[in-house]
Structure 1
Amino acid sequence: MNVLFLCTGNSCRSILGEATFNHIAPAGWHAMSAGSKPTGYVHPRSLALLAKEGIAAEGYHSKSWENLPTTPDIVITVCGSAAGETCPAYLGPVIRTHWGVEDPAHVKGTDEEIDAAFVKAYSILRRRIEALFALPLEQLKHDKTALKAALDTIANSIA
């Protein structure tokens, strides 16, 4: 199953989701990330956090959803709902879910406050990804309605 973590800039949250997902994914599951309006760079704090967590941070770059290497089976948007962001809508026959996470790149404050925002975004995504991998994946791969419901439940129950 191919999963796309999608947001607007593809510099923080979607990169954190992609890297974390691929770090702990079981065989047969792979993530990619993209943005509808990519910034062209990965936020250095995202890369530093991934490295601190022991997750390979090399090779990640901000990219457009128009240049995906493969068609996703699942699209997870990660734009934050309270920040007034508009999540891009991926068009195609895929399972869609929204795992809203506030954008740490927009946090103002001390280095400690900004770092805490990145850790919070990463932690939310990590818990949600771990919850996905705790599900009966082989069964859900063949029941798209149940998989969609499980993905939505994860979004609504893990903050």
Structure 2
Amino acid sequence: MAHPINVLFVCVENSNRSQMAEAFARLHGGEGVTAFSAGSRPSGIVNPKAIAALRGFDYDLSKHHSKSLDALPSIEFDAVITMGCGDACPHIRSHFHDDWPLLDPSDMSPAAYNEICHAINSKVKTLLSDLGLVIDAELQKRERT
């Protein structure tokens, strides 16, 4: 691969779904992916529930920051994934675009929040595989245990 695949995940607040997706892309894609996330109306914080959920995957999401689309580099992304931001998500230059209609888990119970987290993890793995990246087999083994 000549360069890492650039993937962007966008949701409204950039505090839950897109942050988790960015983290999973980094975890599963390794050096083969450069992952970004942003919000159409960023909250300014990463939800503590998201930080706690990613601890279960040995990922420190507390180092992430909620940011706006304006903070992104001016590049054409290989893939852009939107998550429920609807009309608030402007067109972003990319080779591939998809929308994952995932509910905002902010006010969900811990069990429901974890379901969304696991759904995002699964969708990210599928996306990376579809983009031609090999997922780390050792990481997948740890997730199953």
Question: What is the TM-score normalised by the length of structure 1?
Answer: 0.72
Partner of 1:117: 112
Pick 1 or 2: higher relative contact order, CA cutoff 8 A, min separation 6: 2
How far apart, CA to CA, are the structure 1 residues paired with 2:93 and 2:73? Answer: 17
How far apart, CA to CA, are the structure 2 residues paired with 1:9 and 1:87? Answer: 14
How far apart, CA to CA, are the structure 2 residues paired with 1:49 and 1:103? Answer: 14
Q: 1:73 to 1:134 in 2, by over 3 A?
A: closer
Q: Deviations over 1:99-129 (max 9, x none)?
A: 121111033xxxxxx1112211111111111
Among 75, 78, 91, the residue aligned to 1:73: 78
Higher strand share: 2
Q: 1:11 to 1:136 in 2, by over 3 A?
A: closer
How far apart, CA to CA, are the structure 1 residues paired with 2:101 and 2:90? Answer: 15
RMSD over aligned Cα, in angstroms? 1.9
Partner of 1:48: 52
Q: 1:70 to 1:21 in 2, by over 3 A?
A: farther
Q: 1:105 to 1:90 in 2, by over 3 A?
A: same
1:15 aligns with 2:19: yes
Q: Deviations over 1:55-103 (max 9, x none)?
A: 2324211100011135222110112xxxxx6353332431211012111
Deviates more, 1:52-61 or 1:31-40: 52-61
1:39 offset after TM fit, Å?
0.4
1:4 aligns with 2:17: no
Deviates more, 1:49-58 or 1:129-138: 129-138
Q: 1:54 to 1:87 in 2, by over 3 A?
A: farther
Q: 1:135 to 1:37 in 2, by over 3 A?
A: closer
- Superposed counterparts of 1:1-159, under 5 Å: 1-69=5-73, 71=75, 72-79=77-84, 86=86, 88-94=88-94, 95-107=96-108, 114-135=109-130, 137=132
Partner of 2:136: none
How far apart, CA to CA, are the structure 2 residues paired with 1:28 and 1:67? Answer: 22
Give the percent of matched residue pairs that are identical in Structure 1 and Structure 2. 31
- Which runs of no fewer than 5 residues in structure 1 stay unpaired? 80-84, 108-113, 139-159
